[in-house]
Chain A
Amino acid sequence: MPNERDPRVTRVGSLKANENDLRVIGVPRRRVDARAKVTGQTRFADDIFLPRMAFCKLLRSPHPHARIRRIDTSRAVAHPGVYLVLTGKDVPIQYGILPVSQDEQALCVDHVRHVGDPVAAVIAREELTAFEALDLIDVDYEILTTISNPEEALATSAPRIHEYGEEGNIHKLVALEFGNVEEGFAEADEIFEDTFFFQGNTHLPIEQHASVAIKDPDGKLTIWSSTQTPHYLHRALAKVLEMPAAHIRVIATPNGGGFGGKSDPFNHEIVVAKAALMLDRPVKICLTREEVFYCHRGRHPILMKFKTGVKKDGAITGMHLQTLIDGGAYGSYGVASTFYAGALQTTTYHVPRYRYQGCRTFTNKPPCGPKRGHGTPQPRFGQEVQLDKIAERLKIDPANLRLHIVESPNAVTANFFRLGTVNLSECIRRVVEVSGWKDKFRKLPEGRGVGLACSAYLTGAGLPIYWNKMPHSGVQLKFDRCGGVSIFCGATEIGQGSDDVLAGIVAQVLGIDPFDIRLFTGDTDLGPVDLGSYSSRVTLMAGNAALQAAERGKAIIAEGVAEKLEVPKERLSFADKRVFDSVAPEKGVSFEEAVCIAEARFGTIGTVGSYTPPKSPALYKGGGVGPSPTYSYSAAVVEVEVNPVTGWVTVPRIWIAHDIGCALNPTLARGQVEGSVYMGLGEALMEEQEFRRLPKKLSHALVHKFPSILEYKSPTSLDMPEVITELIEEPDPQGPFGAKEVGQGPLLPIMPAVANAVYDAVGVRIDEIPITPEKIMKALAEKKAGREPRFGPSHFPRINWPEALRVPPPWEGGDGNAVNDVPRRTRRVSKKEKVLTS
């Protein structure tokens, strides 16, 4: 059933392969796992029921910040139906996703850091029994001062939420300077200084986190879990359980939505693993929705200040970005997030001099981490809204201004990120054209408006989370005599279509049907390591590994068939489940026969492929966050209607163009674009992870304002606008068939485009996300009173920044190292890397 509404594709340049040979790649297609999904047979973690299975519940702290004086579990242990009660001392070893932030314990030993921090676990015959027994655990807490936001964290050096970090409650400070920014400002015709605030929000996957662990018959451990990163969970389990990793098997069940929220190793996963080993029976946990809000790891709230110098024509002369980041109670990915918040500013427009100062603080709230766009949507919002203000002051159309300053393809940016293909200009031109921008911008009647914004995103993090030189992704293929092919890979299906990417690529190379392929993915025992479904890395990295494995298999088969048919192997084609002479197509064999011929000739056929990203020229400390094999680009135009009486914003239409390199399966690519637009719209208009103090006469604790789906507002089918998607295809040499990412980038321009459209509609600037009716009403009141028509933060606090690492940009002769730090890599190696990548 072809879809007439598949996205319009604009080709820039031509595809690597002869397009006529592409039977799978680029063709809108039913994804390989679709049937399981529409029949309800996809087995999510909570769908697993095993004989003798016990259920686990966690007792969570009701206090945002406290010491645990004493825990008495005796009454719970004695409760009928309870098998086991665990506390922190049973699993005391610290872990965390980043090697520099090993600051979590599966159950808190003596310190709770947010409401919802787990302190004990009950494992019982029935879930309800476990739940009841939680009430029978007595915990004696000593309440500590709560630190509820970053400014309090800066002002409160004790008590410390963690004993590590920069000092007091500052987790991480970053200061980087690429070129002399003050000189840049001196050259500018105009200087713009703006502060913005981006409220935190959460992933809200519809599937709640769940895990089932068993002790295998041979005494090893197996855990099924809704995780995006089975490999990292595997490592954390080995560490905390003090077991050889070889005796642990992690199976990532298909995630019922991830969006970054299932990328950390979680306390509940460790607890059920420990309990299963101790009890020698299957143990399951499924979090309640409220508990999912406590797991969080979502978007960091960020206060930011942009100072940007521009020439009269809009060319940027220098930019200085400061961020104050609310990290919540644990490190999670936070150190990376702090760098990401300053990383990608240079990837869209040419920024010749750039200074970034970032500060992440600990607070007594659920930890923040990676959500779709990881650390970059917040500063992208600030940058793109500021550009809109710049365009207005310079009296340049915002689209033209951007077209004038777009960064060039294959550039190395001021902060030493090597770009690949850059079709941002084409994206802007497409959305301007299809949206009728020229007839709408500043021309629509009062109350209606359009806004434009752009963005870039990584196609996979250039570095792994822990330092190693091994591939980021591996694929193994097994070729069967019956013509079937099995793919083994650690890649994790979170709904984005990673299984389909693997099957599509292998099917294309071998000329078979994706349906002839079996997939064994997300299983640490079966497949080679893939680092996980984060940073938009799977299509490029697992895809390239699959491509290599398939090409190797094809070469073996071609060798055998060429001999048999007496045709030079270069002349053989693989298509329509046949291997044949491309000059005389009738001369050939079926794919099945071809495999048999090759197996008879060479023995059992299996191949492997792997992928390691190219080395980055960013050698300075902190330069490991932000490099990517290539970047995707997006531009969006959002149309809004703002009710001047209620401040209510309606979005009838969004046009978005995405520079994707090559859409491997256009149906799925469009789904990723629309899903990103949807999620961006939720962030723009309504989603917020908010906290409040309970009344004094209660505990005065800092609690989540609304840990429920009902009150955490997210867009429904009634709120979704029409979306017109344009894909720009210029195959990127780094990607399989030229593909770049599409899962995260298209979210990024939505929030600033909405803000810019609101300004076009009613002339008020909302420099804060989400853009709620209350904020619009306040800004309209300011406007009416003749004051600045704006709602947003007015100041950025003073922070004692460390001396910046000074890295001269490439055009000032920089070699990627900081001049005031020891060089991280020698010139010799960086020369070799040039040879490798040229």
Chain B
Amino acid sequence: MLPIESQKTSQIRFMLNGEETDVSFAPYKTLLEILREDLGHTGTKHGCELGECGACAVLLDGKPVLSCLVLALECGGKQVLTVEGLGEDGGLHPLQDAFADLGAAQCGYCTPAILVTAKALLDQNPHPTRDQIREAISGNLCRCTGYLQIFEAVEAAMLKIAGQKTSAT
């Protein structure tokens, strides 16, 4: 008998980083597992697979979710954004630039999840206060930075995005 993980009996079609994507997988798999194991998107990390660390956050229809707690089967027809889809026109997203410049990524393991979580924050609230930034990423543990350089990077990106918007109009 085929081991259960090899029984790729489920299939969904969804938008992964803006691209229509089909994937077959064993029905019990989480979004985290199909991203990493079946779709080769290893940018999304894991630190517990129990919903405790926040390292696996991705955006599902624009909202941050812990991909280790989301069944892949629930994602059919939805939009999923991971760190791989954050860049724009071959360049870095302002958040990525700011994180890189300001020391917000030390080991970089928590970084992909914090980046997408911060993007969701800025999409929904273009001018968050320091406290709102703290609140938004309070479910993402980082053991390296002490968070302060992360806050500063989000604030720097916020200003840059706001600047781009003003110059565009």
Contacts and interface: CB of A to CB of B under 8 A. Distances in A.
A497 B148 contact: no
A836 interface: no
Nearest to B160: A1
A593 to B, nearest CB: 31
Interface centre among A289, A676, A714 (most CB of B within 10 A): A289
B146 A35 contact: no
Interface string A689-730: 000000000000000000011100010111010110000000
Interface string B88-104: 00001000111111110
A496 B101 CA distance: 15
B141 A125 contact: no
A252 to B, nearest CB: 13
Interface in B93-126: 96-103, 105-112, 115
Contacts of B43: 39-41
Contact of A129 (B3, B42, B83, B150): B3
Contact of B144 (A49, A124, A670, A675): A675
Interface centre among A38, A203, A289 (most CB of B within 10 A): A38
A49 B38 CA distance: 10
Given A129-B5, A255-B107, A289-B47, A675 B84 contact: no
Interface in B28-71: 36-37, 40, 42-50, 52-53, 55
Contacts of A80: 1, 3
A42 interface: yes
Interface stretch (A204-212, A345-353, A611-619, A786-794): A204-212
A40 B42 CA distance: 7
Contact of B108 (A256, A288, A676): A256
Given A289-B49, A709-B47, A718-B135, A40 B82 contact: yes
B6 A125 contact: yes
Contacts of A675: 106, 143-146
A259 B142 CA distance: 13
Given A126-B5, A495-B144, A674-B149, A49 B102 contact: no
A426 interface: no
B98 A723 contact: no
Interface in A547-596: none
B87 interface: yes
A33 B86 CA distance: 18
Contacts of B141: 206, 709, 714, 716
A212 B53 CA distance: 24
B100 A256 contact: no
Contacts of B42: 40, 43, 46-47, 49
Contacts of B112: 40
B143 A35 contact: no
A302 interface: no
Given A1-B98, A679-B143, A495 B106 contact: yes
Given A39-B84, A39-B96, A41-B43, A717 B137 contact: yes
A98 B87 CA distance: 46
Nearest to B110: A206
Given A39-B43, A288-B49, A674 B148 contact: yes
A710 B52 contact: yes
Interface in A15-42: 30-31, 33-42
A5 B101 CA distance: 13
A44 interface: yes
Interface in A647-664: none
Contacts of B109: 44, 205-207, 256-257, 495
B116 to A, nearest CB: 10
Contacts of A494: 107
A502 interface: no
Interface centre among B4, B86, B106, B134 (most CB of A within 10 A): B106
Contacts of B99: 34, 37-38
Contacts of B105: 34, 37-38
Nearest to B106: A495
Size range of the chain A interface in the assembly? 35 or more
A678 interface: yes
Interface string A117-135: 0000000111111000000
B144 A40 contact: no
A81 interface: yes
A667 B99 CA distance: 11
B47 A206 contact: yes
A676 B84 CA distance: 30
Contacts of B44: 40
B147 A678 contact: yes
A254 B147 CA distance: 20
A126 B3 contact: yes
A677 interface: yes
A34 B55 contact: no
B3 A128 contact: yes
A674 B145 contact: yes
B36 to A, nearest CB: 8
B100 to A, nearest CB: 4
Contacts of A81: 3, 6
A676 B55 CA distance: 21
Contact of B134 (A40, A129, A288, A717): A717
A497 B50 CA distance: 30
Contacts of A208: 46-47
Nearest to A286: B46
A304 to B, nearest CB: 26
A300 to B, nearest CB: 20
B90 to A, nearest CB: 11
A810 interface: no
B4 A126 contact: yes
Nearest to B42: A47
A91 B146 CA distance: 41
B53 A206 contact: yes
B6 A720 contact: no
Contacts of A203: 143
A7 to B, nearest CB: 11
B83 A40 contact: yes
B71 to A, nearest CB: 15
Nearest to B102: A3
B164 interface: no
B15 interface: no
A737 B52 CA distance: 42
Contact of A289 (B4, B50, B135, B148): B50
B146 A677 contact: yes
B49 A206 contact: no
Contacts of B137: 717
Contact of A206 (B36, B45, B92, B101): B45
A668 interface: yes
Interface centre among A39, A124, A128, A670 (most CB of B within 10 A): A39
B3 A1 contact: no
A55 B151 CA distance: 38
A34 B47 CA distance: 21
A9 to B, nearest CB: 16
Contacts of B86: 39
B32 to A, nearest CB: 12
Given A129-B5, A709-B52, A720 B107 contact: no
B35 to A, nearest CB: 11
B107 A257 contact: yes
B115 A128 contact: no
A671 interface: yes
Contacts of A205: 107, 109, 143
B156 interface: yes
A35 B148 CA distance: 19
A124 B2 CA distance: 12
9 contacts: A3-B156, A37-B111, A43-B42, A49-B40, A495-B109, A671-B103, A671-B146, A675-B106, A678-B146
5 closest Cβ contacts across the A-B interface?
A40-B43, A495-B107, A37-B108, A256-B109, A678-B146
Interface of A: 1, 3, 5, 30-31, 33-44, 46-47, 49, 80-81, 124-129, 203-208, 254-259, 288-289, 494-497, 667-668, 670-671, 674-679, 708-710, 714, 716-718, 720, 722-723
